[in-house]
Amino acid sequence: MPASPSQLDLTFAALADPTRRAILARLAEGDTTVNELVEPFNMSQPAISKHLKVLEAAGLVSRRQEAQRRPVHIEAAPLAEAVGWLENYRKFWEKSYQRLDGLLAELQSMTPKSDRKN
Amino acid sequence: MPPLTITLPSDREIQITRSFAAPADLVFDCWTVPALIQRWLGPADWVFTHCEFDARVGGKWRFVTRGPDGFEMASGGEVLEITRPTWIKTTELYDMDWTGGETINTNRITEQNGVTTSVVTILYASKEARDGARATPMAEGMEMGFKRLDELLADMPAS
């Protein structure tokens, strides 16, 4: 199911912050708890919790209740949607620009630098 | 050359930045001379069946390309501003209106130490139009999974 534009907005807004991107990169390796994020990020627990709330509101992470802990889990679908959206553009432009690289090399080999007008 | 970067400078824009090992005037010509445009622009395996670009203010441009299955895609517009070799500003509208109305496309071309950087900015009619312009099926995004996530994140605006 394609995400709605508002979902995409939430995703991009959440991803715009470098700390939140780093948290997601950590979570991509496996679930963790808030306390386990405090030390490597050198931030207070309330600061980490605030970032997690933004990620949770965007649907990028979820938290479940276990006996003594609430591990944070990364949610793949909205991220995949965001990746797919930009990836389409990337493919189009990268393929075109690779052909342009070749054309520019060809044009330069045909035109000596001193002959070219700027 | 570093890979291209794609950013979202505002909620109506997409910006594509790429550098080339060539002088600015050559890069500019590749964007504005039909014989050259046809050699590189567009999806792989698609060929131009029509390519015109009247490179002066008020000039019209129109591209028609045909895919491997015979499907034709056409877009065109007007040249709003043009300064060789640094600046191109055009309007663009697809015949089938893939982009939710006309877009305004700019291309800032700068040369430094023999390396030319092209910054293409596409301004959509609305945020919804920009977000709706995506055409990649969900399946493709899922398949990629996290493999390209780092790359995507590296391209995101720095908050």
Q: How much is the pLDDT for B143?
A: 31
Host H or E run for residue B142:
helix B138-144
Question: Cβ contact (<8 Å) for B127 and A118?
Answer: no
Q: Is the pLDDT of residue B146 over 70?
A: no
**pLDDT at site B159:** 39
Query: pLDDT confidence of B118, banded at 50, 70, 90?
Result: very high
Contact A83 B141 (CB under 8 A): yes
Is A46 contained in some domain? yes
Nearest residue, CB atoms, A17 vs list B85, B137, B159 = B159
Does residue A86 lie in a domain region? Answer: yes
Evaluate whether the domain defined by B5-155 bears CATH number 3.30.530.20: yes
Q: Is the ipTM of this complex over 0.90?
A: no
Domain count for chain A: 1
Which B-chain residues 123-142 have CB contacts (< 8 A) with chain A?
Answer: 127-128, 131-132, 134-138, 140-142
Is residue A55 assigned to a domain? yes
Q: Tell me the C-alpha distance between B140 and A88, whole Å.
A: 9
Q: Reply yes or no: is the peptide bond before residue A78 cis, omega within 30 of 0.
A: no
pLDDT of residue A115 exceeding 60: no
Is A115 a member of any domain? no
Eight-state DSSP code of residue B95: T
**Chain B residues close to A85, C-beta within 8 Å:** 131, 134, 136, 141
Please report, for chain B, the start and end positions of each structural domain, with discontinuous segments joined by +: 5-155
pTM: 0.65
Distance CA B100, CA B126 (A): 8
